[in-house]
Amino acid sequence: MDNVSIIAVASIVTAGFSTSIGCMFPALGEGKAVSSALNSIAQQPDAGPTITRTLFVGLAMIESTAIYCFVVSMILIFANPFWNFIIN
């Protein structure tokens, strides 16, 4: 295998690993957050709107982690900065 093939394989494997891990753990965190919010609302229904608002802000922050991992994966596949060192 030449250097270009090694960089291509490493980029694809890293992008797949980053996407799989970067989407799996935020999904588990979101599930735990929703479960905790539902338990809290069940115990104190009067605090429902406040808990829901805080839940949505927290879910957005958790989801941003998965989006960042996806963006890094797309950069590795389509705009890999290591190609310039190998090709030139």
pLDDT single digits (tens) 21-37 = 999 999 999 999 999 99
* pLDDT above 70 coverage of the chain, percent: 99
Upper half-sphere CA count for residue 17 (Cβ side, 13 Å): 6
Q: How far apart are CA 45 and CA 39, in angstroms?
A: 10
Q: Which of 37, 14, 17 is nearest to 25 (CA)?
A: 17
pLDDT digits (tens, 9 = 90+) for 64-80: 999 999 998 998 888 88
Which residue in this structure is represented by tokens 């797309």?
74
Q: Which domains does the chain have, with CATH numbers?
A: 3-81 (1.20.20.10)
Say if residue 88's pLDDT is above 70: no
Q: Which of 30, 48, 29 is nearest to 39 (CA)?
A: 48
User: pTM to 2 decimals?
Assistant: 0.75
Residue 11 · residue 82 · CB < 8 Å: yes
